[in-house]
Amino acid sequence: MTLLWTLTGYFIIKALLLWPFYYKLSTRPLVVGLASSLAIAPLITILYHETAIDFWYVYLLLIVLDIVLYNFLLQKLWWKAILVSFLLNTICIIFFFLGNG
């Protein structure tokens, strides 16, 4: 899968599915989802194609980083950040592996 399709899929997953959880914050979840997609999609593509890193570690690192990001930039609710981060990153990893084999 090309980087453009990966980035588009990550934006749809992270921004548009993040928005219902933080709908009271107007467009901030969309911006946070876009920023997260722009940072994660190229990194995960390079790690997958160029290294032999176990992707369970990458998956756990993505969850932890998103928990911190959502808690810091959106709302100070840890339980919501953990739930959303686990859900969205699981969908993103499944999308990534379906596209890249």
pLDDT of residue 49: 87
* pLDDT tens per residue, range 34-91: 999 899 889 998 888 899 988 899 999 999 999 999 999 988 889 999 999 999 999 9
What is the distance of C-alpha 86 from the center of its chain?
A: 9
What's the chain's length in residues? Answer: 101
